[in-house]
Structure 1
Amino acid sequence: MAFNPFEHRGIPIDDQFRNWGQLDVAPVDPDNSDPYTKCRIIALNGLEVEAIMYSHHFARMCPDIETKRQLAKVRYVEQQQQKVVNWLLPGQASVLETTISYEQVATDLTGWVARMEPDPYLKACYEFGLLEDFDHLYRYANLYEMIEHRKAEKIVDGLTEVMPGRPTYQQHRNPVDNVREPYDRDAAAPLSKLHALTIMAAEQQTMNFYMNMGPLYMEPIARQLYQEIGMVEEEHVTHYESMLDPNETWYERLVNHEYNECYLYYSFMQTESDPRVKGIWELHLNMELEHLRLACDMMRQAEGRDPEAMLPRELPEPVTFEPNKAYIRELLATQIDYTTLGTGIVWEAHERFEAMQDKINAERPSTEVVIDEHRHKFGDEYRLQTEGAHPVPRLRDKPYE
């Protein structure tokens, strides 16, 4: 049965504040929990962080004090939600183990969105980023075995394959070529707007995580790897945020944010395998329904527009974490050599791309060094390929082999 978020009031905002005991949730079991439960936690944490930061930016630009007060009240609850969601992650999991889960999110969430995206240009943009995050998973998995002597298959549980994607050293582009064309707010399908917000939030959270966690390592190769991949995540945030129509008003995008949070909590509530975690998703959905109602009221009052006219009355089909193995193999066979030029995605390297490669890769990049060191230590690189996977296509040029 379809779910209409506009028909549900949710929990009144003044009843949403929780005390410390209610916020002190037990983490999931790192050894026995569903890998996709951790993926859902990471994805929703990114969504909440984006909602919080967007609200802060809105408040800094807003001259109306009543709007600022309303934003502050909702934002306080969003902060509590973020604490509950993020604190579900197990403390005994290492930063690197959590990193591998982050890249599993980037792979399988982007894979699902790309498969469901109705706009051909936006779909191509998601496919482009997907092959890059897929390669990051491979690099971190090799680092994980080197410094923690464990295999990534314990974390991803065979749901996501671990093998090379578009080599990370080829992902360093001139910044001007990371800016994409935005969707048209008046013509784009509502689902396209939700997809763009979701993947932007997930990539932004990954960028922030690497920015802060990378220097906490002592091992030089780990510090270097987080630094290099962290720079690619900056490119990805630029890539995805530029897909949003800048002509959307502050109130319009606030409504989009709140609707998208309802969509993701509802989606994950449908597929969550952990009953306790599912209860948290349901609670937060009921909070977000009220946040959506308040955002719609603010938009009506400030702009005299009906927000329900720009969003579907019923939530789209639920977002699902599921394997994307065949889809990724197809992309590896056809798109591994792609780069960008202006707002387009192109096959051949070009002068601006090659100039950036010469500058940034003047020394051997850490993403190649980590594979060299793994081969030296173990005799080969680490991969996790399931039965039936065809070999990864060769690149046009691999100067670091």
Structure 2
Amino acid sequence: MFNPLDHKGIPLESQIRNWRELNVEPIGPEAVDPYTRCRIITMNGIEVEAINFQHQFARNCPDQEVRRQLAYVRYVESQQQRVVNWLLPGVASVLETTLGYEQVAVDLTAWVARHEPDPYLKQAYEFGVLEDFDHLYRYANLYEMVERRKAEKIVNGLTEVMPGRPTIVEHRHPFDEVRTPYDRDSVDPRSKLHALTILSAEQQVMFYYMNVGPQYMEPIARQLYQEISLIEQEHVTHYESLLDPGENWWERLLTHEYNECWLYYSFLQQESDPRIKAVWELHLQMELAHLQQAADLLRRHDGREPEEIVGSAGLPEPLTFEPNKDYLRHLLATQIDLNKLGEGYVREAHERFEWMQQQLHDGQKPPSEQVIDLHRERFGDEYRIETEGPHPVESLRPRGGSHA
């Protein structure tokens, strides 16, 4: 078992890289393993969260020496984020990258749900993944309409493309997005990593859609990004509320660094591209030193050992990008009609949900429904990739029927 607390990594003073080292060659847009793209997108979100967290920490920290240490590590994290994000090819369109983002959201969240030891947290991930699954389907239909290309070239049969929980019913009252947090003292250390990982990934999706949506000229594209970016904001609220607000800055810093070590170690074990694997190895060695610094700060300012926060058993099993088709089909068949009420889940449309639906839709079809209607008008049907048989919920419905 690999325990990152036992490793020093590359000394901090040796971690600043020059322009030549930062000028990485991007992946090939056509021949790349889709899960290599997924790992890149995931680590970009993880690094962005690390940077944003440290900025917030610095704004709330009165200790100048700590602020200097955070500034140094934050600069290194910023270099790491540029290297990771710049691995994506410039020739890929915004929609192609979007499909990659949604493939990450589906297969990353499904893996975490399958491996989450806490039933309450597991349910939170299972609820969210059915909505990202539907987003992939909506964007795949938009992709064929706008670029005349099929999402199969992006997901490569690893992830199915078909309706999930319809996006139209994902617009809920903000009160119902707030979950009960885990308890920092009793929760399994794996659960802390899972929650931070999914939060970071969903947050990056939200940022991306907020910024790229207005770049489109096609009205339906602009509208769909606007709608789904609002859902992603709901998802960020959903996942961030799972974190115990009683965790102080020192333990949060440690958890962030430990999580980065876990993910870089995980992706190092499975990466198929030797050049990208070298990036994961280098960044892991850097993060080991960041973790040591965070552990020292925890001891000095909080009086606790890092093992009290992340456990002493070492890293959990590596997170793996892999197909989750059977699991997702099971969730579709059993949970597609779930809704939220307060901090729990229900199967009926309650008064607060119906009020929110009325405020938003007011008798109009949202962009997520319009995009499917437009695709049917142009191509005679909607775009799907069903590799494991008919949709588990719609097998008795005629194709082209309503999914609302």
TM-score by length of 1: 0.98
Partners of 1:388 and 1:193 in 2: CA distance: 36
Which aligned pairs between 1:157-196 and structure 2 lie closer than 5 A?
A: 157-196=156-195
Partners of 1:325 and 1:399 in 2: CA distance: 23
Q: Deviations over 1:275-295 (max 9, x none)?
A: 000000000000000000000
Partners of 1:133 and 1:61 in 2: CA distance: 34
Is the counterpart of residue 11 in structure 1 residue 10 in structure 2?
Answer: yes
Report what 1:368 is aligned to: 369
Is the counterpart of residue 329 in structure 1 residue 329 in structure 2?
Answer: yes
Report what 1:357 is aligned to: 357
Conservation of the 8 A alpha-carbon contact between 1:164 and 1:392: no
Report what 1:251 is aligned to: 250
Higher deviation after alignment, 127-136 or 304-313:
304-313
Report what 1:280 is aligned to: 279
Q: Deviations over 1:152-186 (max 9, x none)?
A: 00100000000000000100000000000000000
Partners of 1:349 and 1:252 in 2: CA distance: 39
Partners of 2:55 and 2:392 in 1: CA distance: 47
Structure 1 unaligned residues grouped into runs of 5+ = none
Partners of 1:153 and 1:43 in 2: CA distance: 20
Conservation of the 8 A alpha-carbon contact between 2:113 and 2:122: yes
Higher deviation after alignment, 245-254 or 298-307:
298-307
Q: Deviations over 1:289-316 (max 9, x none)?
A: 0000000001111111111222133110
**C-alpha displacement at 1:130, in angstroms?**
0.2
Conservation of the 8 A alpha-carbon contact between 1:371 and 1:381: yes
Is the counterpart of residue 384 in structure 1 residue 403 in structure 2?
Answer: no
Conservation of the 8 A alpha-carbon contact between 1:10 and 1:289: yes
Partners of 1:104 and 1:303 in 2: CA distance: 39
Q: Deviations over 1:197-250 (max 9, x none)?
A: 000000000000000000000000000000000000000000000000000010
**C-alpha displacement at 1:388, in angstroms?**
3.0
Conservation of the 8 A alpha-carbon contact between 2:329 and 2:392: no
Q: Deviations over 1:30-61 (max 9, x none)?
A: 10010000000000000000000000000000
Report what 1:236 is aligned to: 235
Higher deviation after alignment, 257-266 or 306-315:
306-315
Tell me the amino acid that sits aligned with residue 324 of structure 2.
N
Partners of 2:183 and 2:371 in 1: CA distance: 42
Higher deviation after alignment, 224-233 or 307-316:
307-316
Partners of 2:369 and 2:100 in 1: CA distance: 21
Report what 2:147 is aligned to: 148
Is the counterpart of residue 301 in structure 1 residue 300 in structure 2?
Answer: yes
Which aligned pairs between 1:53-64 and structure 2 lie closer than 5 A?
A: 53-64=52-63
Partners of 2:158 and 2:288 in 1: CA distance: 32
Tell me the amino acid that sits aligned with residue 184 of structure 2.
R
Q: 1:24 to 1:349 in 2, by over 3 A?
A: same
Which aligned pairs between 1:309-320 and structure 2 lie closer than 5 A?
A: 309-313=308-312, 314-320=314-320
Conservation of the 8 A alpha-carbon contact between 2:7 and 2:288: yes
Conservation of the 8 A alpha-carbon contact between 2:220 and 2:367: yes
Partners of 1:350 and 1:271 in 2: CA distance: 45
Tell me the amino acid that sits aligned with residue 145 of structure 1.
E
Partners of 1:386 and 1:251 in 2: CA distance: 46
Q: Aligned with 1:364: secondary structure?
A: coil
**C-alpha displacement at 1:345, in angstroms?**
1.3
Tell me the amino acid that sits aligned with residue 341 of structure 2.
L
TM-score by length of 2: 0.97
Tell me the amino acid that sits aligned with residue 290 of structure 1.
A
Report what 1:100 is aligned to: 99
Q: Aligned with 2:340: secondary structure?
A: strand
Conservation of the 8 A alpha-carbon contact between 1:329 and 1:389: no
When the two chains are superposed, the root-mean-square deviation of aligned CA atoms in Å is 1.2
Q: Aligned with 2:135: secondary structure?
A: helix
Q: Aligned with 1:283: secondary structure?
A: helix
Which aligned pairs between 1:70-149 and structure 2 lie closer than 5 A?
A: 70-149=69-148
**C-alpha displacement at 1:389, in angstroms?**
4.1
Partners of 1:143 and 1:316 in 2: CA distance: 38
**C-alpha displacement at 1:392, in angstroms?**
2.8
Conservation of the 8 A alpha-carbon contact between 2:262 and 2:318: yes
The runs of at least 4 consecutive aligned structure 1 residues that moved more than 2 Å come to 387-395, 398-401
**C-alpha displacement at 1:391, in angstroms?**
3.8
Tell me the amino acid that sits aligned with residue 273 of structure 1.
S
Tell me the amino acid that sits aligned with residue 41 of structure 2.
I
Q: Aligned with 1:345: secondary structure?
A: strand
Conservation of the 8 A alpha-carbon contact between 2:160 and 2:386: yes
The number of residues matched between the two structures is: 398
Partners of 1:392 and 1:90 in 2: CA distance: 37
**C-alpha displacement at 1:19, in angstroms?**
0.5
Report what 1:266 is aligned to: 265
Q: Deviations over 1:71-114 (max 9, x none)?
A: 00000000000000000001100000000000000000000000
Structure 2 unaligned residues grouped into runs of 5+ = none
Tell me the amino acid that sits aligned with residue 387 of structure 1.
E
